[in-house]
Amino acid sequence: MIDVNVYLHRWPFRRVPGDEPEALVAKLRAAGVTQAWCGSFDALLHRDIAAVNSRLAVECRKFGPGFLEPFGAVNPTLPDWQDDIRRCQETHSMKGIRLHPNYHGYKLDDPRVVELLSAAAARKLLVQIAVTMEDERTQHPLVQVPHVDLAPLVAQLESLTALRVVVLNAFRGAKVDVVDKLASSRRAWFEIATKENVAGVEALVQQVGHERVLFGSYAPLFIHESAVWKLRESPLGGGQLEAIQTGNARQLIGAA
Amino acid sequence: MIWDLHCHLSGVTGRTPAERMGRLIEIADRVGIERLCFYMGMTWTKEPTPEDLQKQNDEVLEALQHYHDRAFGFCYVSGDHVEKSLSEIERCIAAGPMVGIKLWVAHHCNDPAIDPIIRRAAELKAVIYQHTWLKTDGTTYPGESSPYDLVELAKRHPRTPLILGHTGGQWELGIRAVRAYPNVSIDIAGSDPTAGLVEMAVRELGAERVIYGSDCGGRSFASQIAKVHGAEISEREKRLIFKENLKRMLMPILKAKNVQV
Ligand SMILES: [Zn+2]
Tens-place pLDDT, residues A134-171: 999 999 999 999 999 999 999 999 999 999 999 999 99
Q: List the strands of the sheet with A96-99, edge to edge.
A: A2-8, A35-40, A68-73, A96-99, A126-130, A165-168, A188-191, A213-214
The residue type found at B32 is G
Model confidence pLDDT, tens digit, residues A245-255: 999 999 999 98
Rounded to whole angstroms, the Cα distance separating B162 from B183 reads: 6
Nearest residue of A to residue B28 by CA position? Answer: A233
Closest by Cα among A51, A52, A49, A47 to A8: A52
B contact test, residue of A14, A24, A41, A223 with most B CBs within 10 A: A223
Say whether A17 and B192 touch across the interface (CB within 8 A): no
Q: Could you say which residues from 181 to 200 on chain A have a Cβ atom under 8 Å away from some Cβ of chain B?
A: 194-200
Residue A256 half-sphere exposure toward CB, CA atoms < 13 A: 26
Which among A15, A138, A196 has CB closest to B218?
Answer: A196
CB within 8 A of A185, min separation 6: which ones?
A154, A157, A158
Say whether A229 and B172 touch across the interface (CB within 8 A): no
Percent of chain A with pLDDT over 70: 100
Give the distance from residue A11's alpha carbon to the nearest chain B alpha carbon, in angstroms: 11
Domain boundaries, chain B: 2-256
Rounded to whole angstroms, the Cα distance separating A215 from A248 reads: 9
B contact test, residue of A229, A231, A232 with most B CBs within 10 A: A229
The residue type found at B126 is A
Would the pLDDT of A256 be above 90? no
Q: Could you say which residues from 123 to 162 on chain B have a Cβ atom under 8 Å away from some Cβ of chain A?
A: 133, 135-137, 139
Rounded to whole angstroms, the Cα distance separating A8 from A20 reads: 8
Q: Could you say which residues from 140 to 159 on chain A have a Cβ atom under 8 Å away from some Cβ of chain B?
A: 140-141, 144
Using the Cβ of B54 and the Cβ atoms of chain A, whether some distance falls under 8 Å is answered with no
Rounded to whole angstroms, the Cα distance separating B213 from B243 reads: 10
Nearest residue of B to residue A169 by CA position? Answer: B192
Instruction: Please report how the helices B221-229 and A224-233 are oriented relative to each other, as an axis angle in degrees rounded to 10.
Output: 140
Model confidence pLDDT, tens digit, residues B210-234: 999 999 999 999 999 999 999 999 9
Which among A18, A219, A229 has CB closest to B222?
Answer: A229
Q: How many CB atoms lie within 10 A of CB B34?
A: 15
CB within 8 A of A244, min separation 6: which ones?
A192, A201, A205, A210, A213, A214, A215, A231, A236
B contact test, residue of A143, A226, A241 with most B CBs within 10 A: A226
Q: What does the H/E/C string look like for chain B?
A: CEEEEEECCCCCCCCCHHHHHHHHHHHHHHCCEEEEEECCCCCCCCCCCHHHHHHHHHHHHHHHCCCCCCEEEEEEECCCCHHHHHHHHHHHHHCCCCCEEEECCCCCCCCHHHHHHHHHHHHCCCEEEECCCECCCCCCCCCCCCHHHHHHHHHHCCCCCEEEHHHHECHHHHHHHHCCCCCEEEECCCCCCECCHHHHHHHHHCHHHEECCCCECCCCHHHHHHHHHCCCCCHHHHHHHHHHHHHHHHHHHHHHCCCCC
Domain boundaries, chain A: 2-255
Model confidence pLDDT, tens digit, residues A164-195: 999 999 999 999 999 999 999 999 999 999 99
Rounded to whole angstroms, the Cα distance separating A234 from B208 reads: 31
Predicted confidence at residue A255, as pLDDT, reads 82
Average pLDDT over all residues of chain A: 97
Q: Which CATH class is domain A2-255?
A: alpha beta
- When pLDDT is averaged across residues A205-220 and rounded to a whole number, the result is 98
Please give the torsion angle defined by the CA atoms of residues B132, B135, B139 and B144, in that order, rounded to the nearest 10 degrees: 20
Are A190 and A183 in contact, with CB atoms under 8 Å apart? yes
Domain B2-256 has CATH 3.90.650.10: no
Nearest residue of B to residue A139 by CA position? Answer: B136
CA of B43 to the centre of ligand 1 (A): 12
- When pLDDT is averaged across residues A32-43 and rounded to a whole number, the result is 98
Using the Cβ of A138 and the Cβ atoms of chain B, whether some distance falls under 8 Å is answered with yes
- When pLDDT is averaged across residues B136-141 and rounded to a whole number, the result is 95
- When pLDDT is averaged across residues A119-133 and rounded to a whole number, the result is 98
Percent of chain A with pLDDT over 90: 98
Say whether A138 and B136 touch across the interface (CB within 8 A): yes
CA of B5 to the centre of ligand 1 (A): 10
Using the Cβ of A72 and the Cβ atoms of chain B, whether some distance falls under 8 Å is answered with no
CA of B190 to the centre of ligand 1 (A): 7
Using the Cβ of A29 and the Cβ atoms of chain B, whether some distance falls under 8 Å is answered with no
- When pLDDT is averaged across residues A57-74 and rounded to a whole number, the result is 96
Res. A238 pLDDT band, cuts 50 70 90:
confident
First to last CA, chain A: 18
Which among B27, B169, B227 has CB closest to A199?
Answer: B27
Which among B23, B137, B196 has CB closest to A139?
Answer: B137
Which among A15, A228, A233 has CB closest to B221?
Answer: A233
Rounded to whole angstroms, the Cα distance separating B144 from A93 reads: 51
Are B182 and B159 in contact, with CB atoms under 8 Å apart? no
CA of B7 to the centre of ligand 1 (A): 7
Which among B172, B195, B216 has CB closest to A198?
Answer: B216
Say whether B220 and A233 touch across the interface (CB within 8 A): yes
